[in-house]
Every structure is written in C-alpha cells, then in structure tokens.
Amino acid sequence: MVKDISYQNLDYTFSGVDHNYGESFHILGNPYTQSLLAKLCRPETVQPELNHLVFKLYHELLIETVNLFFPRKVETVTTRMKEFIPQGELDAEIIDRSTRAVTVNLARAGTWPSHLCFDELSTLLEPANVRQDHFFMNRKTNEEGEVVGVDVSGSKIGGDIEKAIVLFPDPMGATGGSLSHAIDHYKKNIEGKELLFVGMHLIVTPEFIKTMAANHPEVKIMALRLDRGLSEEEILQTVPGTHPEKERGLTDIQYIVPGAGGVGEVLNNSFV
C-alpha cells in the first residue's frame, strides 16, 4: 500500500509571544485564549462560570503541551472503510499511547486543572499509564502578608516517575516558590527519572520566571499570559526579558498585577 506522506513527520510550530527568557518558557499569544482569560479575570466572573472557563483554557493549554512535548509514533489504523475497499487504512503520526504521564494536583488552586488534565490524558493515552498525584501546600506569610516560604501539609503520590512526563497544572505562577518546592520533592524523593517536567499556568510573572530559571532551568513552562504590570512604562514597551532586572509583576505581598485576584479562593468559594 502506498502511504500518504502528508501526515507523517508532522512539523508542529508553536505560536506564542516573543521573549528573551530562553527556550524553556512558552507563552501563548492567540486571541481566543486571551479573550477567555480576560473574562476569567473580571471581578464579576464567579462560579460556576469560572470552572467552565478554566476547563476551556486548560484544554487549550494541554493541546499545546501535548503537541510540543509528547512522544509520537506512526501507526497504521484500520478504518471502517476497510470492509469495503482495500485502501481503507490510515497511516498517521499520532501521540504514542504508551507514554506515561503524571499530573500533580497542587492543592488548592491546582485541584480542578489537574483533574481536567488527568481526564483528557486518560482518553488520549492508555488509561493505565496516566496517574494523578496530590500535593498539599500553602503560602507561608509573615505578619505583613509577605510570602516567606511554603507550608506543606501532606501528599499522596502513587508511584514512580520513570520515563514519565510530569505535569504541574497550577493556574497562578506568582513567585515560583510552590512549583519549585514541588519539583524539588519529586527530584529528591520520588523514584525514577522523569522524561520531562512541565509547569502549566494561566498567568506567570517575571519573578516566577526568574525563580524557575535559577532553580530548575530544564523544566518546561507553558503559560497563557505573562503579567508584568508593575514595570515602568518604558519597560512595558520592550520585548519581555530584554530587561529582566527591571520587570515586575508582583505586589509587595506577592499578588499578580494585572492578574486575576485570588483564583484559588474563587475556584473553591473559600475566602480564607
């Protein structure tokens, strides 16, 4: 059978915001996701609409993540037309269903996004190769409300990460402290060598990028938006990462500007 070359060796090109942060960072730049994310950030957007928007946004983010980083294979698929004609077979480059994937719930803002990724990956891959872990942590703050560290109250990790793509779907990449701590834990305490670590975020800041680049430069970061709204006006007119030392996206108590407010609180209707 002659094979059609159109869908083999697919050359997928990521379309995102230009920046100078390095190859590990990917910031989407399409109008569809920006429109939904802008709606999510509005103060009048509450439950259940917030969950619906997070679902759509993480669906888009997962598509980009899978297309960029997940292994592929060329497979011959017998279609329903094979019954009627010998050419009823499809040769296509598809995601390798044998790929192992772990999605980590960084509770509490990451609970819903992680579940969404777990559910979709269980359809895309062999379900037995997909796992969801749970990591319970909170910001540690001082009397002034400034973030001074991470409090970890527990975890439930269901196995090793040997040759697995490990996803961290955490909506707000503010300081980078929580994600950095979680990745440290997997590197030092969980058996096996991962295929790749990937952070998946709705919004990140220059401060977050600085932390991740310093602590875990090999980790891939996927984000829908970069917020550096507290930078000087002239800095906002430059390509992101041109003057990283002058970029700022966090208030003194580490909330993102323009940001989306306390996403974890709104997602859970729990304002404490």
Residue 269 maps to a domain: no
Residue 219 maps to a domain: yes
CA 150 – CA 178 distance, rounded (Å): 6
Please indicate, yes or no, whether the overall pTM of this predicted structure exceeds 0.85: yes
CA 101 – CA 125 distance, rounded (Å): 8
Model confidence pLDDT, tens digit, residues 42-86: 999 999 999 999 999 999 999 999 999 999 999 999 999 999 999
Looking at residue 135, what is its pLDDT? 92
Q: Which of 257, 233, 231 is nearest to 246 (CA)?
A: 231
Looking at residue 46, what is its pLDDT? 94
Residue 165 maps to a domain: yes
Looking at residue 144, what is its pLDDT? 64
Total number of domains constituting the chain: 1
Query: In angstroms, how far is CA 206 from the centroid of its own chain?
Result: 16
Residue 6 maps to a domain: no
Sequence-distant (≥ 6) Cβ neighbours of residue 128 within 8 angstroms: none
SS3 of 89, please?
strand
Question: Which carries the bigger pLDDT value, residue 25 or residue 9?
Answer: 25
Mean pLDDT of the chain: 93
Residue 116 maps to a domain: yes
Looking at residue 270, what is its pLDDT? 85
Residue 81 maps to a domain: no
Residue 74 maps to a domain: no
Question: Which carries the bigger pLDDT value, residue 3 or residue 235?
Answer: 235
- Which two tokens mark 2? 């002659």
In the predicted model, is pLDDT for residue 268 greater than 90?
A: no
Looking at residue 210, what is its pLDDT? 98
Average pLDDT over residues 192-201: 98
Looking at residue 148, what is its pLDDT? 54
Looking at residue 193, what is its pLDDT? 98
Length of the chain: 272
Sequence-distant (≥ 6) Cβ neighbours of residue 222 within 8 angstroms: 26, 28, 61, 64, 65, 68, 198, 199, 200, 201
**Dihedral (CA of 145, 149, 155, 160) sign:** positive
Looking at residue 141, what is its pLDDT? 60
- First-to-last CA distance in the chain? 63
Average pLDDT over residues 261-271: 87
Give the range of the structural domain holding residue 171, as residue numbers without chain letter.
14-68+91-263
Model confidence pLDDT, tens digit, residues 119-136: 999 999 999 999 999 998
pLDDT band at 4 (very low <50, low <70, confident <90, very high): confident
Model confidence pLDDT, tens digit, residues 142-193: 666 655 556 666 789 999 999 999 999 999 999 999 999 999 999 999 999 9
**Could you tell me the CATH number of the domain that includes residue 160?**
3.40.50.2020
CA 63 – CA 49 distance, rounded (Å): 22
